[in-house]
Chain A
Amino acid sequence: MFVLASTTSGIFIQTMVNGITLGAVYALVALGYTIVYGIVELINFAHGDVFMWSTAITLVVLNSMHVSTAVYGFALIGLLLLMIVIGAVVSGTLNVAIERLAYRPLRKAPRLAPLIAAIGVSFILENIAELWLGASGISYPDFFPNGGIVLGDVTIQYIDLVVVVLTVVLMYGLNVLVKSTKMGKAMRATAQDPEAAALMGVDINQTISFAFLVGGVLAGVAGVFYSLVIPVYAYNVGFELGLIAFTAAVLGGIGNITGAMAGGFLIGIIKALATNYLPNGSDLSDAVVFAILVLVLALRPSGLLGQQVPDKV
């Protein structure tokens, strides 16, 4: 995430590239918010911390493997795949467990009760991580080779390419999953009308668990990507990133999978631009994202791609 270019247009393009890479991470996390919200109408406040746990596990596993220098070839691919699988398994399991223990007992409670429970879960996850790995930032071992494709004075890092390409592949896979599999059909049915879906023989509990699993897996992969792009672990990264990703989900229209993908990339670009071009940008870019959130919710609550759906009574 450096801006190496020297010309004005070069800086702009480089910023866009950085924004798209981070946007891929935001999009993956935003998908988790949107899938869960689409099915149980709950803002899974702990989702950002599920993502953070993936970055924590990545750090611990990398450290335990004593990777300290760049690796190449099949070793690199193997390591990358291993990280992705571990992150996905941990976050997926965690998300399913949270749903089972914290949200399911509250499914019939007033709307705000599960949201409050989610805040509690978020605090718990964040503080356990703080207890475990400490409060100060920890650098990741730098195993991914530096370098990239040079286009004029813009450098597209290999890492950016890998992240964006793998994200697009995952999104395609998710699309297939939701549109063409039996489980995807069950998810769409549950999102539309849980009771009717149950009458048609859909196992609601299983479907909701599966939605949390998918969301958690995507957040886990996003955690691995994030730790590649921004190689410093922090126990409280989930809170901020969760909010940004939620904004992305809302921007695209919450409950809308394509919307969350587009919203993620869009927010990534906007945030990168704000960081680079505003004074005190790294702080104020968060304020910019929140301002977008407020504006979208106030002016077009259904988001850019969502439909206006009346409240269910």
Chain B
Amino acid sequence: MSASPSHFQQKMQNPLKSLGIRKKIGDFLNNTKFLNRSLSWYVTGWRVGVFWGLIALFLPQLLNFSTNFLDQTYFAPNILLLDAILCGIYVMLALGLNIVVGYAGLLDLGYVAFFVIGSYTVAFATSGIIRNIHSQVVNIPALTFWEAIPLAALIAGFMGVLLGAPTLRLRGDYLAIVTLGFGEIVPIVIKDVPFFYGALGFQVPPAPVVNTPFGQVDFGNPLDFSAFYYLTLAVIILIVMFNILLRNSSIGRAWIAIREDELAASASGVNLVRIKLMAFGLGAAIGGIGGVFNGVMTSSISYDQFSFQVSISVLIMIVLGGIGSIPGVIVGAILLRFIDVYVISTISNMLQTNTALANPSNPFHFLVSFNLNTTKFLIFGLVLLLMIILRPQGIIPNKRRQLELKGVGLAPEELSVIGEIEREEEGSSAPPESVEGLGDI
């Protein structure tokens, strides 16, 4: 197919470079010294991770502390913590989908299906209530919340394998459409098959109280979500560790191989179907775990919470943050949730309460009726489109993926650089002193 990137694209790609803003920020950070180090040292590499990790670790305390000087009607710590937990659930989903899309290079547009499966599994398992085919309530032995988590992961993973087994032989774009169909079917089935309570919705019991040597911990306390917050955080950390282990294992290398060249990987002895099923199943299992947390947290679930939009939101998080990059997808998830929950509704409120705009003679009066919440997917669509055209590698790129997505062939010396960079992600090698890379942000 023909040829070089268009003139339009070249112009669009470097708006910052041409203005020299990148270089100015880079120079400033490199030349300003603080405690014998340049500022760039503080804002690159593992130190950024440590900083945000500490914030995540002490978030409940920070929020409580903030009540000393912030207005509680806007900054109610418990509500903010709830937002953080919901954000954490999306981080889980993004990490799970990243296995499928980022590592194995398979596009799954129906990821919401596993989210639904996880949510409904915890609902049935912990309440001990199902309905039979005649819509009569049947009691089954109830499980605890802790038993429901692995159960949901198992069931979702099994469903992932079940969906993948007949379809993973397909080419990538066909697979995307099939998974999309699956994501559409699952909510329809839940709505129309009486077994699932359908349109009525389902009450999920709250997370349990646990007696520990240090006293009672109430994970389901609606007045103080901090225990549940730490649980979410712990699960996210486990998932991240799992992801890192997977990526560095022979399975992870096989995923990279099939992603880069399926035919060559298959010729080198990679069992394509088995390795793809692995990605599908593991990604689905993590989606199921996310579903469990969602079910418990939102406490009332119904089919209409699980739409195509959820699948695409998670995909946008990954594309925004950086396909295949663990810190990237975490940042992407948090950023998109932040835009979704805070930025869009704030702007919308500002437009609707602005007195100058309320005057009908104001030429921008039409903005008053502009409800951004209903059109946030317009913004999300723009984000997705612009990212994939202008910066396909995302905010925090995975270096190997970046070279692929930018369409650069891998020269031998570049490959050795990749090895170093991937080790550096682990935080084991010396941090770079220059901030050239940061300018990319």
Contacts and interface: CB of A to CB of B under 8 A. Distances in A.
Interface of A: 40-43, 102, 104-113, 115-117, 119-124, 126-128, 130-131, 135, 194-195, 198, 204-205, 239, 243, 246, 250, 280, 283-284, 286-287, 290-291, 293-294, 297-298, 301, 311, 313
Interface string B356-394: 000000000000000000110110111111101100100
Contacts of A195: 1
A284 B169 CA distance: 27
B210 interface: no
B1 A204 contact: yes
A298 B176 contact: no
Contact of B404 (A110, A122, A298): A110
The 4 closest A-B pairs by CB, nearest first: A123-B381, A120-B385, A127-B378, A290-B181
A127 B375 contact: yes
Which of B189, B191, B388: most chain A Cβ within 10 A?
A: B388
Contact of B185 (A135, A198, A287): A287
Contacts of B171: 311
B388 A294 contact: no
Interface SS, B side: helix
Nearest to B105: A112
A313 B189 contact: no
Nearest to B171: A311
Interface in B146-183: 166-167, 169-174, 176-178, 180-182
Contacts of B389: 102, 105-106, 117
Given A105-B9, A108-B1, A294-B167, A130 B176 contact: no
Contacts of B1: 40, 107-108, 194-195, 204
A301 B9 CA distance: 35
B184 interface: yes
8 contacts: A42-B173, A110-B405, A117-B388, A286-B188, A294-B166, A298-B166, A301-B174, A311-B263
A198 B3 CA distance: 11
Contact of A290 (B8, B105, B184): B184
Interface residues of B, number: 51
A112 B173 contact: yes
B308 interface: yes
Interface of B: 1-2, 5-6, 8-9, 105, 107, 109, 166-167, 169-174, 176-178, 180-182, 184-185, 188-189, 191-192, 263, 308, 312, 315, 319, 374-375, 377-378, 380-386, 388-389, 392, 404-405, 407
Interface SS, A side: helix
A112 B109 CA distance: 12
B308 A290 contact: no
B407 A243 contact: no
A40 B2 CA distance: 12
Contacts of A115: 107, 172-173, 176
A124 B388 CA distance: 14
B188 A284 contact: yes
A120 B388 contact: yes
B312 A111 contact: no
Contacts of B2: 107, 194, 198, 204-205
A184 B130 CA distance: 59
A112 B381 contact: no
B188 A283 contact: yes
B259 to A, nearest CB: 9
Contact of A128 (B109, B378, B386, B392): B378
A195 to B, nearest CB: 7
A124 B377 CA distance: 7
A119 B384 contact: yes
Contacts of A113: 388, 392, 405
A9 to B, nearest CB: 28
Nearest to B106: A112
B167 A297 contact: yes
B384 A294 contact: no
A181 B205 CA distance: 67
A195 B151 CA distance: 52
Nearest to B309: A123
A287 B385 contact: no
A109 B170 CA distance: 20
